[in-house]
Structure 1
Amino acid sequence: MIVPDLVVSPLLRAARANAGFLTEKGARRLLHERTLRPAAFGPPRRLRRDVGISASHNDAGWPVYTVKPRNGSARGTVIYAHGGGWVNDIAPQHWQLCAQIAAEAHTTVQVMIYPLVPYGTAQHVVDNFTAATVNAERMYGPTVLAGDSAGGQIVLSTVLQLRERHDLTLPRTIAIAPAVDLSMKNPFIPTVQLIDPWLGTKGTQVFIDLWKGALHVDHPTVSPLNGNLEGLGPITIFSGTRDILNPDDRLYAAKAADAGVDVEFIQIDGQVHVYPLLPTAVGRDARATIMERVRQAVHAE
């Protein structure tokens, strides 16, 4: 089902989607609820019939789900980091995207269920995504990192570590509305905040303070915008202008281009946060682009 684009923002506001991000009080209420009653993270029972899913645990004890196409052979892999403000677990929309990638790009998708705040921290999580990527390259061959929102921050910080620690460059990284500067100091953010129906700075700051752990908020493992971007592989970034993360995403894309990175910045006016995950025509077109970029990366000769 395709939802008309014009109803997305009113629906988000009616559902109070930003309740946990707009104010500090709302954030602490959400943190308490998620800590007290963790959400289920397993795949929906009714997903695509043309994919199979298996479960395991990595060396850190995290659940790892592997999604594979049932028909034909799979080549390469995608490691996906879900969004949710570092406090919310994986949602059905994430699972649907991962299943679509596996089926339509004919690849294996690994979904890592990483620890959330107040237990998870940026360094611990990025270290494990780094190790998983090195292992995936050995096991599956061409590997793509992909993630949305908080997960976009994780993958963009991970590619920095892969280059610095392992001299490893990926054939493609896909970041959907990534959080790239957790200082939230961009002067254009307050203006965008007025039209963003989903995110907020004051509540998000509560989660950032926990997520950064012992690191300074400007450290590239927390804020990949501050890293040295030279030598990174191709990056595709999706961003909408009704998203408080958009001003920093624009800065990241410009900095990456200046550093010689093959960066594809897909910005659509009027779109909200993580629009490629939404059941709209614009979201459908964005997902088609994701499928094509993954196919190009994992099936390249």
Structure 2
Amino acid sequence: MHAVPRRAQRVVPLRRPGRWIATAVVLVVVAQVVHGLVVNPFFQWDRFGYWFLRPVVLEGLLVTLKVAALSAVLGLLGGVVLALMRLSRNPVLQAVSWAYTWLFRSIPLIVLLLFLYNFSALYQTLSVGVPFGPAFFEFSESRLATDLAIAVVGISLNEAAFAGEIVRAGILSVDQGQHEAASALGLPRRYQFRRIMLPQALRSIVPSYVNLLIGLVKGTSLVYYVSLLDLFGTVETMGSTYPGDIVPLLLVATVWYVVLTSIVSTVQYHVERAYARGAVRTLPPTPLQRLRFGAAALRARRTGASW
């Protein structure tokens, strides 16, 4: 006798009513927020479009980018130096690094910027020479302390204190066996750090430092208080000149800051993905790949349904 094949049974997916209810509630709330932003005349979207690409706003945006880029580079370099000093076996270097980190993490950024802005009142001239002895050369502090220099130096000093702890934590996250294996092979310490320790440490450093970098981009708005017209300073100045456009001008600044932080987040995603190679079996798909997979799955379902 031949076995009678069992009738194919349809697989019914598990029903999740809570998930669908939560999705519907979120969509309703989002729709209400978007509707309120679009139809509310208080936001004056026509004036927003007028100001968004105005040359005066773009000039302020350029200043913000310049301050953020210089401070990010100098802050990261300073953080690497502080981290290596803190990890050094020299007690003097350890103490100096710890004291610097403790001090500049304790001082609010706005206070530091205002102190540097008035630094010429304390020291009219600066000199380089022998301590308690003759000076080799002197220079006026007021000539070097431009508004841009004050902003970059102040933010870099603050950034380095936080970046140093991030870099130090990333280096300490590398397994001790990696250090022992590299030392057993007789590799030079510089080669160990550059080729073995640093690539692994960057997996921990990149996410935390990019969060710090996003805070730096937004923190550049404080340079307005040292007479540097960045994006926020330009918006504030234009708002004082045109009081009726203060809300659309604030929206212009908000959108530009969102654009800048979105670009930084996108770079962070791809850098993290690049350094994840070797740590995971398969790299997670990018948003574009997920979109392609979703479109392919949708086409497959339609094709199957047509049959």
Do both share a fold (TM > 0.5)?
Answer: no
Task: Compare CA radii of gyration and give the structure with the larger one.
Answer: 2
Higher relative strand content: 1
